[in-house]
Each structure stands twice: as C-alpha cells, then as structure tokens.
Structure 1
Amino acid sequence: MDLLQLQKRVYQNKIEKGFNVTDIFQEFCYTYGELSEACEAYLKKKDDLGEELADVAIYLLGLSELLGINLEQEIMNKMEKNEKRQYVKKMVSLQK
C-alpha cells in the first residue's frame, strides 16, 4: 500500500468511527499531542515508542487528507529539494 492509499484509509476510518473531520485546528492539536506522547515515550524509554510514532503518522496522514494534500507527493518533492540543498554546519560551543 502506498502512502496516498494509507492516507485515504486513515480518513475512511475517521469517518467510520465518527472522529473529527471538520475542525482542522483540532487535528493540528491532536497531532501535536501525539508527538508529545512520542517524545515522552522516548525520554522515559517506554516500550510503546513505535506505537506513539505510528499515532503521529496516522494523525498527520488524516490531517493531510482533510486538507486535500497528497502527503506522499509533498514528501517526495521535499526530499528532492533537500537532497539538492547545500547545508552549512555551524559549530556551537557550550563553553564560555
């Protein structure tokens, strides 16, 4: 299954379960909350880090579908842009 199909499957599940499909701001908040839970799982070395990251991806896919954005294509476009970009790394010293 490609990412676009998965995006549509996530959206369909939201419809079938009666989840939010109209309040975009709320979906951003839920996505942020899931990312926070994943960070906490990482910091506390919990066994459910993978599941929490999956929740982040699911909310992001659902949000993309609500907004009419093909996330798979956007990721491919951004990867191509990043691969061509030249980065300048700055050294940061924590010593005073």
Structure 2
Amino acid sequence: MNGLHKLQKGIYQNKVDKGFNITDVGKEIVLMTEELGELAKAYKKSDHKDAEEISNKDEIVDAVGDLMIYCLGLCEMLGVDSEEVIKNIVEQNQDRVHSGNL
C-alpha cells in the first residue's frame, strides 16, 4: 500500500471513528463544494494577487487541505486507490494541449 492510499484509509477510519458520513456520496460532494467555497473566500481576501504575493497563504493552504481530505475520503468511500486516480489523470493531462483560456 502506497503512502497516499494509506493516508486515504486513515482519513476514512477517522470518519468512521467520529461518526462522519461514509455512505452518502452526494452529501460528500456538497461538503466538498462548501470547502471549495471556503477556498474561494480565502483567495478573495488576497485581493487576487499572484501566489508569491498572497499574505493569507495559511488560510488558503488550510482550505486546500480540507478539500484534499474530502477527496481522499471520497476515494475510499468509492473503493478506489487515490494514487491510481491521480496517476491516470496526470497521464491523460500529458497529452492535452493548453488552449490559453481559463
């Protein structure tokens, strides 16, 4: 078991131990969306500066961490290895061409 997959299992076990959601995928996606909103709010506080100029990096990093926890927990709920998911997407992205649009 790789490090990311082990972390995924630990996150899921914490959800079990604490009585958090482990079955409702839709609820998990809603919670992830709320965390994405927190990330957007933190970014908005930064006055939309470039990464090296952001003064509230800790707040942004915390929001990213929360999102990552939800993503890893969701992978475990779905029974997939998060590292394999990431590897597959990285491989797909290697063949993509950036259009220059947001």
Q: Name the TM-score, length of structure 2 as normaliser.
A: 0.79
State how far apart, in whole Å, the 1-side matches of 2:66 and 2:87 are. Answer: 21
Q: Are 1:55 and 2:66 an aligned pair?
A: yes
Choose 1 or 2 for highest CA Rg. Answer: 1
In 2, the alpha carbon distance for the partners of 1:27 and 1:86 equals 29
Partner of 1:94: none
Deviation at 1:89, TM superposition (A): 2.3
- 1:77 Cα deviation after fit: 1.3
Matches within 5 A, 1:73-88: 73-83=84-94, 85-87=95-97
Q: Helix, strand or coil: the match of 2:63?
A: helix
* Higher mean C-alpha deviation, range 46-55 or range 60-69: 46-55
Per the TM alignment, residue 88 of structure 1 is displaced from its structure 2 partner at its CA by 5.5
Q: Percent of counterpart pairs with the same letter?
A: 40
Q: Specify whether residues 89 and 30 from structure 1 end up closer, same or farther in structure 2 by C-alpha distance, changes over 3 A only.
A: same
| Number of residues of Structure 1 aligned to a counterpart in Structure 2 | 90
CA separation of 1:90 and 1:22: change in aligned 2, threshold 3 A: closer
Larger mean Cα displacement after TM superposition, 39-48 or 7-16 = 39-48
Q: Following superposition, which runs of at least 4 residues in structure 1 exceed 6 angstroms of deviation?
A: none
Q: What 5-or-longer segments of structure 2 have no aligned partner?
A: 47-55
Whole-angstrom distance in 1 between the partners of 2:62 and 2:37: 13
SS of corresponding position for 1:69: coil
Structure 1 residues 90, 57: closer, same or farther in 2, change over 3 A? Answer: closer
Residue 65 in structure 1 maps to residue 76 in structure 2: yes
Unaligned runs of 5+ in 1: 92-96
- Classify the secondary structure of the residue corresponding to 1:48: helix
